[in-house]
Amino acid sequence: MAESKLLHLFDDQKHYLKSFQTFNSYSAKYAMQETWTNTVLLDNIVPHLPNLDRDKQLRVFGIGSGSGEVDYPFLTALLKKYPIITNRVVEPAEDQIIKYKALVQSKGHELQGVKFDWRQQTLEQYRDTDGVGTKFHFISTIHSMYHVEDVDSSLMYLYDLLEPGGKLLVIILSDQSGFSNFLNRLPGLLKQSLRYISSAHIRRPFEARDIPCVQIHRNSEVDITECFNETSEDGELFRDFLVQLKGFRKTATPSQYKEAMEYLASSECTKKDGRKIVMNNDRDAVIVTKMST
């Protein structure tokens, strides 16, 4: 069967960012920050990072850091142990880098000791230009592995960029979530060759190579009632984010749209809470340790 003209959200950066921000405004995404900074970074990563002399810099690498809201608390937490940090960031969206720079400026004194090196590039472009020139003690990719062209090879590349004993942190949608159930069934429902990534895709290449990797699971829910509203702009942006397609209601055939929305409303993806429709949006943090050679 010929594929219909569904447009991928990532092909329109502006629309993607608008729908991502709409999703964030409903999902209380940053409420999880304390868990990521305290339980994941401070309890499970920092104590195991290599010890450095006080005058040596910790090299940190952020992949798809966006506007820096998640990376900035990480940096302030790392500064407590490592007073000198170089933070390289690859982020392809110019407006996100502008926002990140403004955030850094507004937090000036809290980030004293951090030298930033922003690269307006995709990870693939960085790989082509820098190869494995610089090695890092800590690499984080927070909700950005969905976007890379080849997940396995990107992860192994990031692993190669780690110093011995260094840590890679990937935060991503859990394969145990209702959201992931929805995305897994979507290509079949839409009869499209779409690709969606969750934590299982992250663990797989490391487990296959016996590389140590631990996972920390966090529960989360999001009220998605608004995405069933066909008359509001928020509803459209929210829906587009969930399916990761641009203008989904207008570009899908009526039957594709109906099937996808019915499945989304089913108990495999969501639950009813009074008049609300609530989706399980659990996340996983996958921590990988670079083995000493």
Ligand X SMILES: C[S@@+](CC[C@H](N)C(=O)[O-])C[C@H]1O[C@@H](n2cnc3c(N)ncnc32)[C@H](O)[C@@H]1O
> Cα(279)–Cα(105) distance, rounded to whole angstroms?
36
> If binding is defined by CB under 6 A, does position 65 make contact with ligand X?
yes
Give the one residue of 32, 59, 82, 92 binding ligand X; rule: CB under 6 A. 92
> If binding is defined by CB under 6 A, does position 70 make contact with ligand X?
yes
The set of residues, in sequence order, having a beta carbon less than 8 Å from that of 98 and lying 6+ positions away, is none
> If binding is defined by CB under 6 A, does position 225 make contact with ligand X?
no
Residue carrying the six token digits 């670079």:
290
Here the tokens at position 210 are: 């016996």
> If binding is defined by CB under 6 A, does position 63 make contact with ligand X?
yes
Of the ranges 59-67, 222-230, 245-253, 283-291, which one interacts with ligand X (CB under 6 A)? 59-67
CB 104 within 8 Å of CB 111 = yes
> If binding is defined by CB under 6 A, does position 40 make contact with ligand X?
no
> If binding is defined by CB under 6 A, does position 199 make contact with ligand X?
no
Cα–Cα distance list, 121 to 20, 87, 88, 171 (Å): 20, 15, 12, 20
Instruction: Count CB atoms within 10 A of the CB of residue 214.
Output: 11
> Cα(7)–Cα(235) distance, rounded to whole angstroms?
18
> If binding is defined by CB under 6 A, does position 252 make contact with ligand X?
no
> If binding is defined by CB under 6 A, does position 41 make contact with ligand X?
no
| CB nearer to ligand X: pick between 239 and 256 | 239
> If binding is defined by CB under 6 A, does position 237 make contact with ligand X?
no
Residue carrying the six token digits 């829910």:
221
Q: What is the chain's alpha carbon radius of gyration, rounded to the nearest angstrom?
A: 20
Cβ at position 10, least distance to ligand X in Å: 7
Give the one residue of 147, 167, 203, 283 binding ligand X; rule: CB under 6 A. 147
In DSSP notation, 54-111 reads: TTSPEEEEEES-TTSTTHHHHHHHHHTT-S-EEEEEE---HHHHHHHHHHHHHTGGGG
Site string (120-139) toward ligand X, x via CB under 6 A: --xxx---------------
Instruction: Count CB atoms within 10 A of the CB of residue 212.
Output: 11
| CB nearer to ligand X: pick between 66 and 166 | 66
The site that binds ligand X (CB under 6 A) totals a number of residues, namely 20
| CB nearer to ligand X: pick between 88 and 256 | 88
Give the one residue of 12, 15, 18, 20 binding ligand X; rule: CB under 6 A. 20
Residues that bind ligand X (CB under 6 A): 20, 63-66, 69-70, 90-93, 96, 122-124, 142-144, 147-148
